[in-house]
Structure 1
Amino acid sequence: MVNKLKRRWQLAKVRAGDGSPLRDYHLWQLFARSVFFLELADHDGISHSYAVDVRHLADAKTRQQHDNGEGKAPAALYRNGVQVSRSNVPTAFPVPGGVIEVATTAFGLKRMHFVSEAGVERALRPHPRSQEGLRARLGQRYPRASAVIGAAAVVILVVALAVNLLHGAEVLTHSPIIAEKVGTFTSPIHLSTWANTTLITAGALAALERATRLRHNRFLDTLTS
């Protein structure tokens, strides 16, 4: 029931596209834009090329303008190079045989998947010059190095999560009301300013690395961002 309501809400946000062409991808858009592709056949068996264009720097004003039917949308769906739908994120674009789910985080994408009517899902293909495309190419050419980078990102996020939880518990239990009932807790880890800055920077890079691979864990990636 919850999934059905969520899907209905996402589909309700989708607006008709303006018919504009899909713009070329430029290197200077590396951290501001993501483009993914998918080939799908319609009900007549005719194959079409779909593309999803996500603008990561769309601010609250832009999103509000889109809700009012104006301005550019943070995400847009193109069929054969022509915009057919647009929406705020998270969203689900209807396509033949299912939907394309799109969701973002502060560091990039967490969902860019085609989900069939039978519930089978698969990730879309990233633009080769995008950060997701470059990361995918690294994984194909150097699979061992890619695996090490991925594992390191998880370790960094786990460490950052542990430090954040310990610090949060210390702050929470030093509240007079809570301290009176359960006592106080002092974190065994206290980082210096430079160490804390280093951990925050490493955590952001780790989260970015996972976003380029569409890896997202609701607990790990959310609490450490």
Structure 2
Amino acid sequence: MHGWSRRRAVKRVKPGTGRELKPFRWWQPFSRSLYSVVLGRDDGRQAVYVVDVPHRRRFFANDGKGTADLYLGGRHQAESKLPAAFPISGGVIEVAESPFGLKRCHYVTAGGQEYPLIPEHTSAEGRRAHLARTHPALSRAISVTSVILLVISVLLLIPQLIEVAFTLPPVAPSFGTFVSPISLPAWLNSVIGIGAGLASIERALRLRHNRFLDTIG
């Protein structure tokens, strides 16, 4: 986050209730994201921070934005709408969502160093991280395939969007019409759209996000 956006996010943080962190359940791999970071304290002990993001909340929010909860030592410390910036000792934890999950969950030190939080091992993000550690070649192949699917989706989508734009009343009289050189059947457009959606979900599991590919694709 830039300085001004971080300051705005910090103002949205509300005090926690002290409630206990609920364990991650097997049926929550795509409905909940759970990340943690262990930091040293001045007294030599360790502080365990956990970020809990229930994705269902965004669907019931009037503004379409989700929320994140911060836990310290298993107790609710703070909550905020997303994007969130939780001030903690030595820095801030930044959390931001994308249409397909999270695109950021990092601990940023006062000096500017960034460290991604560790996903819960039984979550979808945790299983994707486990695949990357145990089968790096397969993981890289999946990552490359995701990018290729998104690039193809964008290249096919842009001419069709331009054609639609040229049919709008303010545009057509001034610039005429434009016929897309790419015309795909509806079923193929659907298949490409589904593939792009799955690719964006896969990238969200790794906290990867490109403003162009993962938004347009």
The TM-score, its normalising length taken from structure 2, stands at: 0.93
Distance 1:95 1:3 in 2: 18
Deviations for 1:75-108, whole angstroms, at most 9, x for unmatched residues?
A: 1111111111111111101111111110111211
Corresponding residue for 1:154?
Answer: 147
Corresponding residue for 1:19?
Answer: 18
Corresponding residue for 1:142?
Answer: 135
How much has 1:220 moved relative to structure 2? 1.0
Say what the alpha-carbon RMSD is for the aligned residues.
Answer: 1.8
Gaps of 5+ in 1: 65-72
Corresponding residue for 2:98?
Answer: 105
Would you say 1:118 and 2:111 are equivalent positions? yes
Distance 2:73 2:169 in 1: 62
Deviations for 1:166-189, whole angstroms, at most 9, x for unmatched residues?
A: 111111123354234334321111
How much has 1:42 moved relative to structure 2? 3.1
Corresponding residue for 2:45?
Answer: 46
1:204 aligned counterpart, secondary structure? helix
Corresponding residue for 1:187?
Answer: 180
Q: Structure 2 matches for 1:55-134, cutoff 5 A?
A: 55-59=54-58, 61=60, 74-134=67-127
Identity %: 40
Distance 1:198 1:63 in 2: 31
How much has 1:62 moved relative to structure 2? 5.1
Gaps of 5+ in 2: none
How much has 1:146 moved relative to structure 2? 0.6
Q: 1:63 to 1:8 in 2, by over 3 A?
A: farther
Contact 1:63 1:74 in 2 (8 A): no
How much has 1:46 moved relative to structure 2? 3.1
Would you say 1:9 and 2:8 are equivalent positions? yes
Of 178-187 and 160-169, more deviation after overlay is shown by: 178-187
1:49 aligned counterpart, secondary structure? strand
AA of the residue aligned to 1:207: S
Deviations for 1:119-171, whole angstroms, at most 9, x for unmatched residues?
A: 11010000000000000001111111110110010011011111221111111
AA of the residue aligned to 1:15: K
Contact 1:63 1:88 in 2 (8 A): no
The TM-score, its normalising length taken from structure 1, stands at: 0.90
Contact 1:41 1:96 in 2 (8 A): no
Corresponding residue for 1:69?
Answer: none
AA of the residue aligned to 2:206: R
1:144 aligned counterpart, secondary structure? helix
Distance 1:201 1:96 in 2: 42
How much has 1:60 moved relative to structure 2? 5.7
Aligned residue pairs total: 215
